[in-house]
Amino acid sequence: MKLYFSRNYNPRLAVAVARYLNSPVEFEFASPFSPGERDKFIKLNPNLSLPILVDGDATLWEADAIACRLARLAGSPLWPTDDAQPDLIRWLSWGHCHFVRGCDHVHFERVTKQRYGLGPIRPEIVEAGLNEFASSAAILQQHLAQRDWLVGDAVTYADFRVACVLPFADLAGLPLGDFPRVQAWHARLMEIPAWRDPFAGLDAPELPPIGAAAQ
**pLDDT grade, residue 210 (50/70/90)?**
confident
**pLDDT grade, residue 157 (50/70/90)?**
very high
Mean pLDDT of 136-165: 97
Which contacts of 38-41 are long-range, i.e. CB under 8 A and separated by 24 or more positions?
A: 41/4
* Residue 69, domain extent: 2-78
* CA dist 180 → 31, 72, 135, 145 (Å): 37, 33, 14, 10
On whether the CB atoms of residues 191 and 130 are closer than 8 A, the answer is no
Number of domains in the chain: 2
Q: What's the CATH number where 19 sits?
A: 3.40.30.10
Would you say residue 159 lies in a domain?
yes
What average pLDDT is seen over the chain?
Answer: 95
Mean pLDDT of 132-158: 97
* pLDDT beyond 70 at 59: yes
pTM of the model: 0.94
Considering the chain, what percentage of its residues have pLDDT values greater than 90? 94
Per DSSP, the three-state class of 61 is strand
For helices 99-107 and 85-97, the axis angle rounded to 10 degrees is 30
73 and 92, same structural domain? Answer: no
* pLDDT beyond 60 at 213: no
191 and 122, same structural domain? Answer: yes
Strands, E, within 44-202: which ranges? 52-55, 58-61
Alpha-carbon distance 13 to 140, whole Å? 20
Per DSSP, the three-state class of 23 is coil
**pLDDT grade, residue 211 (50/70/90)?**
confident
